Amino acid sequence: MSKLWKGRTDAKTSKLADEFNSSVKVDKRMYKEDIEGSIAHVAMLSRCNIITKNDEKLIIAGLKKILLDIENGKLKINDKSEDIHMFIEETLTKKIGNVGKKLHTARSRNDQVALDIRLNIRKEIILIKKDLKKLIDVIIIIANKNKNTIMSGFTHLQKAQPITFAHYILSYGMMFKRDIERLSDLYKRVNISPIGACALAGTTYKTDRKYEAKLLKMDGVCENSIDAVSDRDFIVEFASALSIISMHLSRLSEEIIIFSSNEFNYIELSDALTTGSSIMPQKKNSDMAELVRGKTGRVYGNLMNILIVLKGLPLAYNKDMQEDKELIFDSIDTIKNCLNIFIEMLDTMKINAKRMLEDAKTGFINATDLADYLVNKGLTFRDAYKISGQIVNYCIKYNEKNTKILTLENLDIDIYKKYSKCFEKDVYKFIDLETCVKRRGSYGGTSPSNIASQIKFLKKQ
């Protein structure tokens, strides 16, 4: 294929070099952004009297036709092209003749590719934010249904204190809300136009970069033309924000896997989102959650990969930077897939409230409340903590030797009194799990009124 940059050399590159150099298979997904950018560029050139109105009309009509033909399948993007920018320019000139060659006036592929990837990421940020919002909506529905679903909260994966399932799931809602905020924040730095920086030094033509940026609905222009074509920090930032989303999804995946195991049985995933085993007939595996957890490696890897590609690169453009797109596109696709799987998985998940309550009753998770009871009766927290621990120890020792299982709820008042004279019959009400949950009214805590405010907070976003 003949090269648009033939001149300095005869451009007779080897087949191997052509294949190695080509990025079109990856960057063809930016065809829309490339055409959108070119249309704005031509409009600017004409407004600044660099090309005529008639040339503008011809080129824009040609570009619009190319867009239409790609979208309706009439025009196939040639996988042998060097990249999407070359493909579109070549196709344009083939279609409208020599006037097409004016399109690349006062720009370079360096600022063009920087623009295209910014426009593409801008679009993807909005789509991913929408998916995150949908996920939060599902979380709110689950929380609303489970305000009174008592479960054990964990630290060190050991039963810790009573919480509600609503409180638990809303904690992820808060994380996903911050993920949205992170995307909104980096959007401000993405939506700045590099076009007009040209190769690196700007141009001698009297262009209007701000006008072109305005046509593209961008919020400003890169102030320094070398920076405009050299840095990909916004891609690193995006890859990092996607990695954080992936981390959140992965932690939730891990808990979904644990909670749906036979041993826990707190939740049950819909059959539609689980798989069986090829040999063990009893199996129902949470493959989707496992895959989301596994794909985190890929998303983190892409972030590291981009950082390493950029490390030590001299200014301005270097071909190394072509690698950025394959990596960020992979993170984008992975995160979108994971979010969509999660929306469906949470939406169809069954919550086993009875089992969670039963299990919550066996872990002495109201031991802190027992200590608080004594504090209410005038003991210091440290003394109360010690007594409460001794009582738990008594029950554990007893349970090792007997069939009857002692809990703080069924322990005889006379035994309580052996540990402290302060114990009265009202202790049972005090350490009842429901009371424990209701009493945790400190801001952000697990009480139903707090849950209502947390739902309100999430709904506001």
The stretch among 88-96, 188-196, 317-325, 354-362 that binds ligand ARG (CB under 6 A) is: 317-325
Measure the CA–CA gap between 107 and 440, rounded to whole angstroms. Answer: 62
Q: Is 322 in the site for ligand ARG (CB under 6 A)?
A: yes
Q: Which is nearer to ligand ARG, 120 or 152 (CB)?
A: 120
Q: Which is nearer to ligand ARG, 199 or 452 (CB)?
A: 199
Q: Which residue of the set 156, 240, 261, 388 is catalytic?
A: 156
Q: Are 299 and 331 spatial neighbours (Cβ–Cβ below 8 Å)?
A: yes
67-96 binders of ligand ARG (CB under 6 A): 83
**What's the closest the beta carbon of residue 232 comes to ligand ARG, in angstroms?**
10
The stretch among 70-78, 315-323, 337-345, 374-382 that binds ligand ARG (CB under 6 A) is: 315-323
**What's the closest the beta carbon of residue 20 comes to ligand ARG, in angstroms?**
12
Give the residue carrying structure tokens 């071909």.
Answer: 319
Q: Is 104 a catalytic residue?
A: no
Of 358, 348, 437, give the one whose Cα is nearest residue 163: 437
State whether the Cα torsion 368-374-377-379 is positive or negative. Answer: negative
Among 198, 321, 343, 455, binds ligand ARG (CB under 6 A): 321
Q: Are 369 and 392 spatial neighbours (Cβ–Cβ below 8 Å)?
A: no
Give the residue carrying structure tokens 């909506």.
Answer: 137
Q: Which residue of the set 261, 277, 449, 453 is catalytic?
A: 277
**What's the closest the beta carbon of residue 83 comes to ligand ARG, in angstroms?**
4
Q: Is 329 in the site for ligand ARG (CB under 6 A)?
A: no
**What's the closest the beta carbon of residue 318 comes to ligand ARG, in angstroms?**
9
Measure the CA–CA gap between 206 and 204, rounded to whole angstroms. Answer: 6
Q: Is 119 in the site for ligand ARG (CB under 6 A)?
A: no
Q: Which is nearer to ligand ARG, 86 or 166 (CB)?
A: 86
Joined together, the tokens standing for residue 56 give 């503008």
Joined together, the tokens standing for residue 10 give 């005869």
Distance of CA 188 to the CA centre of its chain: 17
Measure the CA–CA gap between 14 and 10, rounded to whole angstroms. Answer: 12
Those residues whose C-beta lies under 8 Å from the C-beta of residue 279, and which sit 6 or more positions away, are none
The stretch among 61-69, 181-189, 316-324, 450-458 that binds ligand ARG (CB under 6 A) is: 316-324
Among 31, 87, 317, 329, binds ligand ARG (CB under 6 A): 317
β-strands 158-164, 150-155 pairing: antiparallel
Q: Which is nearer to ligand ARG, 140 or 327 (CB)?
A: 327
Is omega for the bond preceding 17 within 30 degrees of 0, making it cis? no
Q: Which is nearer to ligand ARG, 322 or 435 (CB)?
A: 322
Q: Are 45 and 106 spatial neighbours (Cβ–Cβ below 8 Å)?
A: yes
Among 28, 107, 109, 209, binds ligand ARG (CB under 6 A): 109
3-class state of residue 453 by DSSP: helix
Q: Is 113 in the site for ligand ARG (CB under 6 A)?
A: yes
Per the DSSP assignment, residues forming a β-bridge with 164 are: 150
Q: Is 146 in the site for ligand ARG (CB under 6 A)?
A: no
Residue 153: how many other CB atoms lie within 10 Å: 16
Among 81, 93, 110, 120, binds ligand ARG (CB under 6 A): 110
3-class state of residue 158 by DSSP: strand
295-314 binders of ligand ARG (CB under 6 A): none
Torsion of CA 120, 123, 124, 128, to 10 degrees: 170
**What's the closest the beta carbon of residue 236 comes to ligand ARG, in angstroms?**
16
Residues labelled as active-site residues: 156, 277
Contacts to ligand ARG by CB under 6 A: 23, 27, 83, 109-110, 113, 317, 319, 321-322
